[in-house]
Structure 1
């Protein structure tokens, strides 16, 4: 039981542990009594003990829930701060990923059981999927004060994806084949923006001012399996992109009505896949056009901070691990430039030796 201490003012104060924040700092609740006598000390200690007892009872009630109920409660509590797509993915994960933990009371789950689950789950799922599933488990356990058992869990090694980055030739082929269609507009906005599918589908003519395109919303699928216009996931998603004039001309020419691309994101994906199959170019995803846009900017020497701003990323982590991939054609140009420099230097050296 926490003991009260007398303050210089004569009051009694009793501190009782409340919680530990994400930075590892311990937080305490303070209970005081203005009575300077012994009764004041007892009063402060009684208030502190009552708080601790109530807190432990609530904690016990929470941890008596099974993991599935706890995760569902987590989703409800976060329903207004997480994106619809994230909530939809969480609910899919709860349904499919956590056997045999899902039916256990969270007060009974041990670190060994979680490590066994991670080991078995990672045998049939990628490291990224495993980490995403563990992330929801971690957030839920932390909300219900059970994160203490997660500190020594070993996760699978991260694997950097081997993604193909489209070349200038690939993009040109796509644009030639889709000329005059909504898909041509979508490809231009993704490759030269670089904009996301949802951002492209939510774009209206009112978002275009000259060559500037204001990105302030996205089309996402909700729990009802319908598409909705929502705000960006992060503040970095709000941005204004200055496009080349030809992109704006294409977007306005191909549009009908107020929507620039009156399609849903999955319709863009389907049309893009069908187009790729018809062309003699490597297979890649529509999202890889963003890789192309970011990689080209990096290849021509644009500083990272401007690439991050233009692409709407919160940090440079994603860009450094995925988007800064070398494009074959650009690499050839750069390598040729390097080798030409050294050949010129060697030629000058030989010429100087002959003169000597």
Structure 2
């Protein structure tokens, strides 16, 4: 909308929101309003806006089970990135940002993002949010997969496959099985597994790096190491039991 700054008010912004709601999602609309306000604030302009953004529509999906996903990726060259997302609750950018130096014994530090944007990779030594930087205990099975990846330097990426290649192979496997999910849904599946196992919210959020209650409730207290080990063991025992089932088939 080609408006003079003096014309930015509740009415014109609401008009823009209503027009945009027919084209883009509620999250994009909300971020757009925040961007406009932040830009104006740089010039000491702070309009008092009383607007209503569209509510986010719930996305209902029939996710495959964790066992079905493990069976699908077992033995493929995308097994490692898929398990990092589903077992350890990593985002795609976090999976692709891991380097061999981030693994110390069985402890993996998630501290970097490798984002694919506009046809190129953008590596950032920060994650999406403050709480996204975290340390996770790596189960032996995933550690073995990591150690099997050839590398010469510690600052090489653990998942060396390009974004488009990984995405293409993932969707090809899904098509063969008749599943309809995104790679990010593996992270949602991880949250579902933790819910099924009755993992307390504070541990689930720490493990997944969630910092808001849009997916899980906010964390307000420290998670103690002994209790955290019990949580990790409970989750690892579940996925290891799935591996045992697949090994018997």
TM-score of the aligned structures, taking structure 1 as reference length: 0.55
Separation in 1, partners of 2:166, 2:136 = 21
Structure 1 counterpart SS, 2:108: strand
1:267 is aligned to 2:165: yes
Equivalent of 1:226 in 110, 117, 120: 120
Output the CA distance in 1 between the equivalents of 2:18 and 2:85.
Answer: 38
Sort the Cα spacing of 1:266 and 1:139 in 2 relative to 1 into closer, same or farther, 3 A.
farther
- Ranked by relative contact order (alpha carbons within 8 Å, sequence separation 6 or more), the top structure is 2
Quote the Cα distance in structure 1 between the aligned partners of 2:73 and 2:213. Answer: 29
Name the residue aligned to 1:278: 176
CA apart distance, 1:206: 1.8
Rounded to whole Å, the distance in 2 between the matches of 1:196 and 1:187 is 10
Matches of 1:265 and 1:138, distance apart in 2: 34
**1:30 counterpart residue number:** none
- How many equivalent residue pairs? 214
The 3-state SS of whatever aligns with 1:318 is: coil
Q: Distance in 2 between matches of 1:133 and 1:264?
A: 30
2:100 matched to 1:205? Answer: yes
The answer on whether the counterparts of 2:116 and 2:122 sit within 8 Å (CA) in structure 1 is: yes
Q: Say which structure is richer in helix.
A: 1
Q: Match of 2:18? A: 119
- 1:148 corresponds to 2:47: yes
Q: Which whole-Å deviations, capped at 9, do the CAs of 1:296-342 have from their partners, x for residues lacking one?
A: 1121111111111111112333235xxxxxxxxxxxxxxxxxxxxxx
| CA contact 2:8–2:47 (8 Å) conserved in 1 | no
Deviation at 1:134, TM superposition (A): 2.0
What does the per-residue CA deviation read over 1:11-33, in whole Å, with 9 as the maximum and x for residues that have no partner? xxxxxxxxxxxxxxxxxxxxxxx
TM-score by length of 2: 0.77
Q: In structure 2, what is the Cα distance between the partners aligned to 1:234 and 1:276?
A: 30
Which of 188, 193, 205 pairs up with 1:308? 205
Equivalent residue for 1:33? none
- Which whole-Å CA distance do the structure 2 matches of 1:118 and 1:174 have between them? 42
Question: Which residue number in structure 2 is paired with residue 34 of structure 1?
Answer: none
How far the C-alpha of 1:128 sits from its partner, in A, is 2.5
* 1:11-90 → structure 2 map (5 Å cutoff): none
Measured after TM superposition, the shift of residue 233 of structure 1 is 3.0
* Aligned-partner Cα distance in 1 for 2:55–2:66: 33
Which residue, out of 244, 251, 260, partners 2:146?
251
* Equivalent residues of 1:241, 1:310 under 8 A apart: yes
Q: Which is worse superposed, 192-201 or 230-239?
A: 230-239
Change over 3 Å in CA distance of 1:154–1:235 after alignment to 2: closer
Structure exhibiting the larger radius of gyration computed from Cα positions: 1
Structure 1: where are the runs of 5+ without partners? Answer: 1-99, 321-356
Task: Report if the CA contact (8 A) 1:201-1:218 is conserved.
Answer: yes
> For residue 165 of structure 1, what is the aligned residue in structure 2?
63
**Deviation digits for residues 48-72 of structure 1, max 9, x if unmatched?**
xxxxxxxxxxxxxxxxxxxxxxxxx
CA shift in 2, pair 1:263/1:279, >3 Å: same
Match of 1:216 in 2: 111
Residue 225 to residue 171, structure 1, CA distance change in 2 (3 Å): closer
Alignment partners' CA distance in 1, 2:95 and 2:29: 30
Q: Distance in 1 between matches of 2:22 and 2:73?
A: 41
Question: 1:225 deviation in Å?
Answer: 4.6
